[in-house]
């Protein structure tokens, strides 16, 4: 599905431009679990909210157009969306995943679904040779995060798509960090795009949501059946919050990215910081690949301090920046991955990636940049 209007206009108006029946500019919250039939075989198109709800449908259709997809499916969380993707496979199937990714995704594959006979291999997907070396007869899909969490590693989506097409595999791309405003994986060869809508799409740390976007109708039909049968559907109110968040997505991302670039450069100059991991830095390893497949760098970075004894001091001293999990909101958050988002990743993988006692992650918001830098300066020291 191609964009007939600009991204910004669709984001602001939604797919329907408001409620046609009443003229309401803000699409209504249809807080209904069930819908009346006018007679036998005479439905309004809505029957039971687990199958579909008008507010959720508006959010799904809006995101589908923004992602360049045929259809989107809204879930109660990002993890629920990934779980639905897993249900496309069966016992004995093998999935290749990025080794640097959200800890909850790792837990799903290595803990929950391993008991159901699903095999998972976690590798550095930035090197396509690693992918080729990991292919097996029972490999069915590749799932990548790019940029990855928390080390901001960039995988070449087009290159991986070539591998999946040649081998009859599905390519699943987690596009949470860049959103369709900066990156559209379907146009680069992905089969499925997943989102934690909790993050940048919602943008205000006040909802849980997840989405899958795709173009293949056969896959979409399977996912819709999984969606309705397992029941992790997006609520009407959270659907409305997503619609509200998307209206300002482009403005928030631009301001947050502007702040992130300035903070990344500030951290690079700080003698107590050993390294900054941010895709928007020209000397960063994934800069050129990211530039070739996206239009932006996002608003998340990680950085390593030279002395781990500084970590608790930073987390206690920040005043404007909040020490909390999650990312993608208007408020700037700082996270300690080793004890929070990535606590369940095996030690050998964390060691290989560099997720250790020295690493912090920042999700940069839209506050005044001078205030944010002063806050970091006071917390880290000069």
Q: Catalytic residue, from 19, 46, 50, 224: name it.
A: 50
16's CB contacts (< 8 A; 6+ apart) are 27, 58, 61
Let me know: does 300 contact 365? Beta carbons within 8 Å.
no
In the structure encoding, which two tokens stand for residue 119, read together? 């095999």
181 flagged as catalytic = no
Is 174 tagged catalytic?
yes
Would you tell me the crossing angle of helices 369-380 and 249-269 to the nearest 10 degrees?
40
Which among 56, 153, 184, 199 is annotated as catalytic?
199
Task: Please tell me which residue in 102, 181, 277, 278 is annotated as part of the active site.
Answer: 102
Q: Could you give phi then psi for residue 192, rounded to 5 degrees?
A: -130, 140
Provide φ and ψ at 240, rounded to 5°.
-65, -40
Contact present, 161 and 186 (Cβ < 8 Å): no
Return d(Cα 352, Cα 18) in angstroms, integer. 49
DSSP element (H, E) containing 235: none
Question: What span, in angstroms and rounded, lies between the C-alpha atoms of 255 and 330?
Answer: 10
| Interaxial angle between packed helices 217-230 and 78-86, expressed in degrees from 0 to 180 and rounded to the nearest 10 | 120
DSSP class of residue 155? -
Annotated active-site residue 102? The verdict is: yes
| CA atoms of 308 and 287, how far apart (whole Å) | 27
Query: Which of the following is catalytic: 156, 174, 238, 375?
Result: 174
**Residue 38 Cα distances to 22, 48, 63, angstroms:** 21, 14, 31
Query: Would you name the residues annotated as active-site residues?
Result: 50, 102, 174, 199
């Amino acid at each position: 599905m191609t964009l007939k209007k600009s991204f910004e206009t669709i984001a602001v108006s939604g797919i329907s431009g408001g409620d046609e029946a009443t003229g309401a500019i803000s699409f209504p919250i249809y807080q209904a679990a069930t819908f009346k039939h006018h007679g036998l075989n005479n439905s309004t198109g809505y029957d039971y909210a687990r199958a579909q709800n008008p507010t959720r449908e508006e959010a799904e259709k809006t995101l589908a157009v923004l992602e360049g997809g045929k259809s989107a499916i809204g879930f109660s969380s990002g993890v629920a969306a990934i779980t639905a993707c897993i249900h496309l496979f069966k016992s004995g199937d093998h999935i290749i995943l990025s080794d640097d990714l959200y800890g909850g995704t790792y837990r799903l594959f290595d803990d929950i679904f391993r008991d159901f006979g699903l095999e998972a291999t976690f590798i550095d997907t930035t090197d396509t040779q690693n992918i080729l070396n990991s292919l097996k007869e029972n490999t069915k899909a590749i799932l990548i995060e790019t940029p990855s969490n928390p080390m901001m590693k960039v995988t070449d989506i087009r290159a991986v798509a070539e591998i999946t097409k040649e081998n009859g595999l599905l390519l699943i791309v987690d596009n949470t960090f860049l959103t369709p405003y900066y990156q559209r994986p379907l146009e680069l060869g992905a089969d499925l795009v997943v989102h934690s809508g909790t993050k940048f799409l919602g943008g205000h740390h006040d909802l849980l949501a997840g989405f899958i976007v795709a173009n293949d109708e056969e896959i979409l039909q399977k996912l819709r059946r999984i969606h309705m049968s397992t029941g992790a559907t997006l609520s009407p109110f959270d659907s409305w919050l997503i619609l509200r968040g998307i209206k300002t997505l482009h403005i928030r991302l631009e301001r947050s990215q502007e702040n992130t670039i300035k903070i990344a450069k500030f951290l690079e100059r700080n003698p107590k910081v050993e390294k900054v991991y941010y895709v928007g830095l020209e000397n960063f390893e994934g800069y050129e690949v990211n530039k070739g497949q996206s239009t932006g760098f996002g608003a998340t970075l990680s950085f390593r301090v030279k002395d781990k004894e500084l970590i608790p001091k930073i987390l206690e001293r920040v005043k404007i920046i909040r020490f909390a999990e999650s990312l993608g909101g208007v408020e700037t958050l700082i996270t300690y991955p080793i004890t929070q988002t990535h606590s369940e990743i095996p030690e050998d993988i964390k060691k290989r990636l560099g997720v250790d006692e020295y690493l912090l992650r920042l999700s940069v918001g839209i506050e005044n940049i001078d205030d944010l830098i002063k806050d970091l300066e006071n917390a880290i020291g000069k």
